[in-house]
Amino acid sequence: MEGVDQLSNSFLKPVGDSHEVFRAAMNALAYPAQPRVLPSDLSPCGPMAPGSLALLLTLADHDTPVWLASSLATSESLRKFIAFHCGAPVVDDPTLAAFAFFSSPLELAPLARFAQGDPDYPDRSTTLIVQVEAFDDCAWRFSGPGLSSPRSFGVSPAPKGFADMWTANHAGFPLGVDLLFVCGKEIAALPRSLRISEI
């Protein structure tokens, strides 16, 4: 849409580009709650930002059902993009999703509607990819694996009651969902292993 040819809106160097995007996501989860560079030369597709599209192309394929928040689900061009470029089935049932995409963190609640994994296989959970307008460092304080000391981190717009949502998500550990936040050319992650406190 808007003049962008979505058929050619893809990685110029599929191997190298998806590698860089993966390493950004891996490092974001390994060193969580801190923004880092998410390389992407893609154009937006409807309401979906280039960073989210880059993660979609890097991580999703026909083995990974994708769920779209209502703000994204209505975009016909996005559905075509997913069908054409990665072949992932788009599902309505969030418990079936390997990945869930959001155009705003205000759509996140409730986290418990997504796959949480099961006790023998906690990895069978949904990874949530969320577009935000900005990262800020004063909303919440996180501690846990990947952090040498507690770290403040926040997103805007901030979802109401996020600290309670995240407390509940972490309380189910090893079950739970993991969040990848995308802001322009940056990514930051919250793995389920992190504990939260409000500042």
Partner 1 sequence: MSDLPEYNFAYLDEQTKRMIRRAILKAIAIPGYQTPFASREMPMPYGWGTGGVQVTAAILGTDDVLKVIDQGSDDTTNAVSIRKFFARTAGVRTTTRTPEATIIQTRHRIPETALGEHQVIVYQVPIPEPLRFLEPRETETRRMHALEDYGVMHVKLYEDIAQHGHIATAYAYPVKVDERYVMDPSPTPKFDNPKMNQCPALQLFGAGREKRIYAIPPYTRVVSLDFEDHPFERTRISGACSLCNSTKAFLDEVITDDQGGRAFMCSDTDYCEQARSRIGPLS
Among residues 110, 150, 157, 174, the one that binds partner 1 under rule CB under 8 A? 174
C-beta neighbour count of 144 within 10 angstroms: 18
Between 57 and 75, name the residue whose CB sits nearer to partner 1: 57
Are 63 and 190 a contacting pair, CB within 8 Å?
A: no
Are 53 and 86 a contacting pair, CB within 8 Å?
A: no
Between 49 and 128, name the residue whose CB sits nearer to partner 1: 128
Q: Does residue number 123 form part of the binding site for partner 1 (CB under 8 A)? A: yes
Q: Does residue number 182 form part of the binding site for partner 1 (CB under 8 A)? A: no
Q: CB 23 → partner 1: shortest distance, Å?
A: 7
Q: Does residue number 191 form part of the binding site for partner 1 (CB under 8 A)? A: yes
Q: Does residue number 160 form part of the binding site for partner 1 (CB under 8 A)? A: no
Q: CB 127 → partner 1: shortest distance, Å?
A: 7
What x-and-dash track marks residues 78-107 binding partner 1 by CB under 8 A? Answer: --------------------x---------
Among residues 146, 154, 182, 196, the one that binds partner 1 under rule CB under 8 A? 146
Among residues 3, 5, 8, 63, the one that binds partner 1 under rule CB under 8 A? 63
C-beta neighbour count of 77 within 10 angstroms: 17
List residues near partner 1 by CB under 8 A.
13-16, 18-20, 22-23, 25-27, 29-31, 58-61, 63-64, 98, 119-123, 125, 127, 144-148, 173-174, 178, 191-193
